[in-house]
Structure 1
Amino acid sequence: MTDTPVQIFRDSDTDRGFRMKWWASRTAIYGVLAFWAVICLFPIYWTATTSLKMAPNVMQGQMVPFPQSWTPEGDWAKKLFYAPKWKGWESIGLSPQTLSQESTVRAEFLKRFGNSTIVALVSSTLAVVLGAMAAYGLSRFRYKWAWLKNDDILFFFLSQLILPPVVLALPFLVLYKELALLDTRIGLILLYTLSVLPIVIWIMKDQFETIPTELEEAALVDGLSIWGAFLTIIVPIALPGMVAAFILSLVLTWNEYFFAALLTSTHANTLPVMVASQTGSQGINWWSMAALSFAAILPLIVIGVVLERFIIKGMAAGAVK
């Protein structure tokens, strides 16, 4: 039985209406996502452009980082690289015209950058290693110490995040003075490792609970020890979650300011302390602060883009059980 012309016409109208609804929904979804992307990326844009503006342009809140005196005449390359619109980068010795010159500010910036890199990488690595082992034990074994069981122990770790940092300021200051850890990288590494360890344990516990215990049982039957099964079977499967926990720890330790300003003075100062120091009797050097801030967040942006797939896998793994 063939369709009548009326039936074909109605079917075509239904398909056309379905396609119009589909395109309308897609347009609305992508429009909302694009709007949200603009909101999220605008602070980064504002920071980057502020580092390229002259002082009057910063105070006037201009959106474009070119000075009003910009004219198309003359050498374009010379205007781009040597026009006085690199004020923020020039103030820290990283503008094109100051890179070939000696700069004490640039040397200080590189020292702070090195301190932040070493402290953040080492503390994040230690937190992931220790946190993965603690989380594996809490997810696979049953512990009881006095009235504390697995859930109580896990809550104890998380409860360390409830205390505000200022409460711990005086105890750590006295303790580090007695241990000669003030103004040292080792002191910051130990403190940062302890501060992000509860978050790593929480993330990795959910990650390990998604892995079937039958895999370890089969490994034990084949002759592997608990450590052998953990290192050769569990760790490769849980690697995306470990990378996600590492990146989160890296961001938290890289941006930490309070303890870095409290426990360091000369040798172990980090980038956040240098960014916050761009204030004086004449006001805030917004261009210098913007250049330092953009230089500080640029490594995190690169790491996030490179390891994006691990972040998505690690965050999504604990949601599906």
Structure 2
Amino acid sequence: MSEATFRNGDAERTSNAGRFASKTVIYLLLIAWAIVCLFPIYWTITTSFKTAANVMKGSLIPWWDYTPAWLGWRSLGLSPETIGAESTVRDEFMKRFFNSAITAISSSSIAVVLGSLAAYGLSRFSYKFGFMRNSDISFFFLSQLILPPVVLALPFLVLYKQLALLDTRIGLILLYTLTVLPIVIWIMRDQFQSIPTELEEAALVDGLSIWGAFFQIILPIALPGMVAAFILSLVLTWNEYFFAALLTSTHANTLPVMVASQTGSQGISWWSMAALSFAAILPLIVIGILLERYLIKGMTAGAVK
């Protein structure tokens, strides 16, 4: 075997070792980042099984630092020994859960429908509103997110009182739709702009109307973006606290308001708050896992054309 062959073999081994080392570093960094991201969820779950003493000591590892107990779940009537008995707290939790689910899903669905139609128009047609053109109108929608919620508190409080929308689900649905609509429009506008207009032109030549081309050609392609916009809207509306605490009192209270109510004159009930928090984020975790592929496709659409 020649010396050149040995040199090529050494170079190949060195290259393989370098690639293996770089992949190892990347995977270690990803694992470390995953631990950082997942630790709050782990801490929340473990805290729901701690006693007051365990919480104050900062115990982290079950069966090593402390013995798990059902204290947090028992306070909600969701522990194994209380799940079959009547519980006022559990009934209240279920009411808040359904309030959050109905308002978040309804407002997110309405925002996706209206936002998709508005975004399609901004991506395909030219508009003129005073000095504003399409790009200005799109930025105007996005700029509404800059406005702090506290500025809108008094106007909405007075308006909802006049319209008898205080402490109602429909009131929260309308408000939440307005708050997430700019995000949906911005996401879907980029989604529609990444779809070639030649597809619609070919559909029109084949005899479809504009609406027919939209529903039969464009909408199926833009579905991942719509799902991504829906999930993002769902997360934002599900976790919203300020307006829910301001505009509701008894009938339409949501889960974030119930979580915040775990503080009192006796201190913070960490175990109850942890159990409530995990019960509140569990549906979002399940939805995120089930719709992960749509979320990734939707958020990366238009990045590469």
Q: Please, what TM-score do these two structures have when normalized by structure 2?
A: 0.98
Which of 170, 182, 191 aligns to 1:186? It is 170
Q: Distance in 2 between matches of 1:68 and 1:19?
A: 43
**Partner SS, residue 182 of structure 1:** coil
Indicate the residue corresponding to 1:26 in structure 2. 23
Indicate the residue corresponding to 1:77 in structure 2. none
Q: Give ranges in structure 2 of 5+ residues lacking alignment.
A: none
- Letter of the aligned partner of 1:219 in structure 2? A
Q: CA deviation at 1:65?
A: 3.5
Q: Distance in 2 between matches of 1:318 and 1:177?
A: 43
Larger Rg: 1
Give the length in aligned residue pairs: 305
Indicate the residue corresponding to 2:213 in structure 1. 229
Q: Distance in 1 between matches of 2:260 and 2:21?
A: 47
Q: CA deviation at 1:54?
A: 1.2
- Superposed CA RMSD: 1.2
Q: Which moved more, 1:151-160 or 1:244-253?
A: 151-160
Q: Is residue 131 of structure 1 aligned with residue 115 of structure 2?
A: yes
Q: CA deviation at 1:8?
A: 2.4
Q: Which moved more, 1:163-172 or 1:216-225?
A: 216-225
- Letter of the aligned partner of 1:304 in structure 2? G
Q: Distance in 2 between matches of 1:275 and 1:46?
A: 16
2:59 and 2:66 in contact (8 A); partners too? no
Indicate the residue corresponding to 2:181 in structure 1. 197
- Letter of the aligned partner of 1:20 in structure 2? A
Q: Is residue 43 of structure 1 aligned with residue 27 of structure 2?
A: no
Q: CA deviation at 1:67?
A: 8.4
Indicate the residue corresponding to 2:7 in structure 1. 10
Q: Is residue 249 of structure 1 aligned with residue 246 of structure 2?
A: no
Q: Distance in 1 between matches of 2:279 and 2:65?
A: 26
Which of 107, 113, 126 aligns to 1:142? It is 126
Q: Is residue 313 of structure 1 aligned with residue 304 of structure 2?
A: no
Q: CA deviation at 1:7?
A: 2.2
Q: Distance in 2 between matches of 1:281 and 1:67?
A: 32
Distance 1:18 1:216, change over 3 A: same
2:71 and 2:271 in contact (8 A); partners too? yes
Q: CA deviation at 1:214?
A: 1.0
Q: Distance in 1 between matches of 2:140 and 2:9?
A: 63
Which of 53, 56, 62 aligns to 2:53? It is 56
Q: Distance in 2 between matches of 1:67 and 1:26?
A: 34
Q: Give ranges in structure 1 of 5+ residues lacking alignment.
A: 71-83
- Letter of the aligned partner of 1:23 in structure 2? F
Indicate the residue corresponding to 2:273 in structure 1. 289
- Letter of the aligned partner of 2:38 in structure 1? L
**Partner SS, residue 32 of structure 1:** helix
**Partner SS, residue 153 of structure 2:** helix
Distance 1:23 1:218, change over 3 A: same
**Partner SS, residue 161 of structure 1:** helix
- Give runs of aligned pairs for residues 35-114 of structure 1, distance below 5 A: 35-66=32-63, 85-114=69-98
Report percent identity of matched pairs. 74
Indicate the residue corresponding to 1:151 in structure 2. 135
Q: Please, what TM-score do these two structures have when normalized by structure 1?
A: 0.93
